[in-house]
Amino acid sequence: MSKSLRLLVIDDDSLVADAIRLLLPNHWTLTYHGESKNIPPGFFHAALVDMHLTEKLEAIEGTDVIRQLKNRDPHLSIVAMSGDINRQTMELCLKVGASRFLAKPLHPDEVLLCLEKIEASLLLRGALGRRPDYEVQWLGQSQPARKVLDSVAQLKGEDGPILISGATGTGKEVVARLLHFQEGPDRPFVSINAAALPEQVFESEFFGHVKGAFTGADHHKMGLAEAAAGGDLFIDELEALPLSLQPKLLRFLQEGEIRRVGSSQFIRVNARIIAATNESLPELTKKGQFREDLMWRVMGKNIHLPTLRERSGDIQILAEYFLNMKKNQKKSLSIDAIEELNRYDWPGNVRELKRVCEQLLLIAPLPLIRGEDVRATLPGRRNQNSSSVGTPLELVQLSTMLNQFEQSVLEKAINEYDDLDDL
């Protein structure tokens, strides 16, 4: 890590700061504060604040310090520390702006894990001046989008099952891959869709089979669970998993063992399960369509994804990203085009936005996408006219783009004419 991370420790006991300083990795620097009520100036990536500051800090409460820090930097990661670990204290910490809690006396492993997760969150959000070199990105600056990244970072180092819930098209597989990549991209990542395969085929694909297990099984086959050993196994649309197979998945989660179809031997497999669903598993359990014991097993660590409407502040960021994915088809959005995108409800969420942007690249006649181009691609808005002709700024943008387009056409024609003269 080339960039130094700055940690602020606020505690009336300097020995606490000394102990933390000894634990810190080399790329962290610590600033200790314990002499006055005034928060030290400067930028910090994280802060550890004692909840009960009574001596040198003149009885100022840790909650007041947390509020001051949050007012100064809303994105600061704050960890509250306290020897009082009752529920009321911990809930108060979260209410005033802390994102994590450490119990005193501090345990070295817990402190290091806490800082590791803060660093992972900063990296995912691009707050360290760069984004991680992952194959996928979770884009957005809205509070719901940032909350998702914080949840992903919070699960760094966790090896138990993780459930990603959210409506269709919200980006569940993207989040699954982020969870995978932050543990190390060289680990296996294997995915299967529980709704895409018939029951017998799913069982064979997931657990594998031995030769002669059924008609056509003329050789031994390793299942996807075995292929994911040492990495992550992503099960999409978990709610569609047949009831008859749910006990076998439960055993795999509890015991870390699978049995190939047609075999009597169990095989130990060390793989983390990341499951995704767009249904409410508790509701399915009430209807008898999902096992309760399996539900509790997979819901221990849950990330819920917001709809695109719930993170509407990210629509323009996402649209511009999709419109610039292809180097030879880049186009920009006019102000009225952005307004049209923001007015739409997006029932298909990010997946629908991506499809619309792909259509706009094909049908928009100009490099500048207009509101009427957007309306032509949105269901129910094709025949609607914009209520305004356009602002002067929009007209200037359009005029500039038209001039650039005409210039490029003229240059191309001149070049072709010169080529003919050379023949």
Sorted by where each begins, the domain ranges of the chain are 5-124, 143-304, 309-419
Pick among 3.40.50.300, 3.30.465.10, 3.10.310.30, 3.60.9.10: CATH of 143-304: 3.40.50.300
Question: Which residues, 6+ apart, have CB-to-CB distance to 334 below 8 Å?
Answer: 368, 369, 370, 371, 394, 397, 398
| Radius of gyration of the chain measured on its C-alpha atoms | 27
Q: State the CATH class of domain 5-124.
A: alpha beta
Q: How far apart are CA 20 and CA 112, in angstroms?
A: 9
Residue 199 pLDDT > 90 = no
Fold of 309-419: Helicase, Ruva Protein; domain 3 (1.10.8)
Considering the chain, what is the average pLDDT of its residues?
A: 84
Please tell me the distance from the alpha carbon of residue 423 to that of residue 419, in angstroms, as a whole number: 7
How far is 208 from 288, CA to CA, in rounded Å? 28
Q: Is the model more confident about 13 or about 206?
A: 206
Position 387 scores a pLDDT of: 45
- Which DSSP letter does residue 309 get? G
How many CB atoms lie under 10 A from the CB of residue 262? Answer: 16
What integer pLDDT is reported at residue 395 of this predicted model?
Answer: 46
DSSP-assigned beta bridge partners for residue 222:
208
What pLDDT is stored for residue 390 in this prediction? 46
Four-residue CA torsion sign, 183, 184, 188, 189: positive
Asked if domains 5-124 and 309-419 share a fold, the reply is no
CA distance 349 to 49: 39
- 291 contacts 246 by C-beta, under 8 angstroms: yes
> Residue 212 in 3-state DSSP?
coil
Mean pLDDT, residues 136-149 taken together: 90
Least confident piece of the model among 156-165, 171-180, 266-275, 387-396:
387-396
Q: What is the tens place of the pLDDT at every residue in 209-266? A: 888 778 777 788 888 999 999 999 999 999 999 999 999 999 999 999 988 888 888 9
**What is the predicted pLDDT for the residue at 197?**
87
Burial class (CB in 10 A: 0-12, 13-18, 19+), 245: middle
Residues 6 or more apart whose Cβ sits within 8 Å of residue 91: none
pLDDT in tens, 372-385: 999 999 987 655 55
